[in-house]
Amino acid sequence: MTENARILCLDDSVIELEILKHQLRGDKNNAYNAVFFTSPELAKEKILQNEYDVIILDYQLPGTTGLAIYDFIQTTSLNAKTPVIMMTGEGDENIAVEAMKRGVFDYFVKGNINNHTFQRSIEYAIRKKDLAKKKEQDDAQRKIMQMKMVSQSKLASMGEMATGAAHEIFQPLSVIRGNLELMEMDLEGGEIDPSEWRGIFPVLYRSIDKIQTIVDHLKVFGRSKENQKVETSITNILENVLFFWREKFEKDGVRVIKEFAEDLPVLYLEKGETEQVLMNLFQNAHDSLKIKDGEREITISAGIKTTPGMELWLEIKDNGNGIRKEHLDKIFEPFFTTKEGNQGMGLGLSVAYAVITSMGGKVDVESEYGKYASFTLRFPEKLFIQQ
């Protein structure tokens, strides 16, 4: 819709502005809401105060140039993405080339303007602005949906972790309680031996430290700022997540094999969301291995790929039941699941895909039904911290 589109025009020539007014008047069904300035400073004030659909600039201006005003526009939050059309009285191709390199939408030479072409350029510029705004809105909505999905997935994971943490905490608590009961009995019998209890205190402190470690991990993982970026290593994230899975893997006879290349780069990414991705992948691997007879293994590998572009890759592979071929193109869809009953919401892999692709990365899957499933996360070089 070009009707009532907001256009700002800047030209130091009153005559040229009158020509622009005529060209922008259009017909009654396609009128623009245009404002006109001969002063660059007044125009800049308005650019700071209002959002426009198109900005038309003369190249030669008193004390400045249209390109300088264009650079100023790029610094404003309101109009940084507003299409700019440049006008000049000189047919200098170098100016035109420089303008287009900077990102100017279109370029016209005064006195050589076809009114139809000029109108069409404005309409295309307005359409471009509308599409850019719609894309921003869609991206914002997609991010909101992603955060909701991550939160729902995290709630499910927190339930799983709470069960594991309860088992982890029970053992050191039993040690503390048992020794305190012995101390109480010795005090009541008047037979307490200080030298004997000096050896018990380190055991109690170690048990308390273990409980504190478990609680600290739960607090870190349970934080609400999933999209808070930090500098960290992929191995650090892995160890944080494996901390919660260690007891379950040991209980169900799952062997974890780690194969990491040396000198993996430090990354700058959303640590909380990445942890959730790995939680979901380990959950799927565990569910697949739980119903498998014989040897159960998860192999975690990480390395650097240098061509065609540099990336850090992380593969999580299990020798469980795998994924049927007909399901491979559906597994990243929200709420798609092959698990029975209430064993899963079908969000795990869709969350993994959304989080990694939002970083500019990729998620690859390979599987042979009845033999294995492998998920590879690919983190692009732009996330690397230069050491």
pTM for the model: 0.51
Please, which residues have CB within 8 angstroms of residue 375's CB and are 6 or more apart in sequence? 281, 315, 316, 317, 352, 363, 364, 365
* Burial per residue of 183-207, b for 16 or more beta-carbon CB atoms within 10 angstroms, e otherwise: eeeeeeeeeeeeeeeeeeeeebeeb
User: What residue ranges define each of the domains in the chain, with the CATH number in brackets?
Assistant: 6-113 (3.40.50.2300), 144-385 (3.30.565.10)
* Segment among 196-200, 218-222, 325-329, 365-369 with least mean pLDDT: 218-222
- Percentage helix, strand, coil for the chain under 3-state DSSP, each rounded to 5: 50, 20, 30
Tell me: the pLDDT tens digits for 281-309?
Answer: 998 899 899 888 889 999 999 999 988 88
> What sign does the CA torsion over 325, 327, 331, 337 have?
negative
* Segment among 156-160, 177-181, 351-355 with least mean pLDDT: 156-160
pLDDT higher for 376 or 247? 376
Beta bridge partners of 367: 373
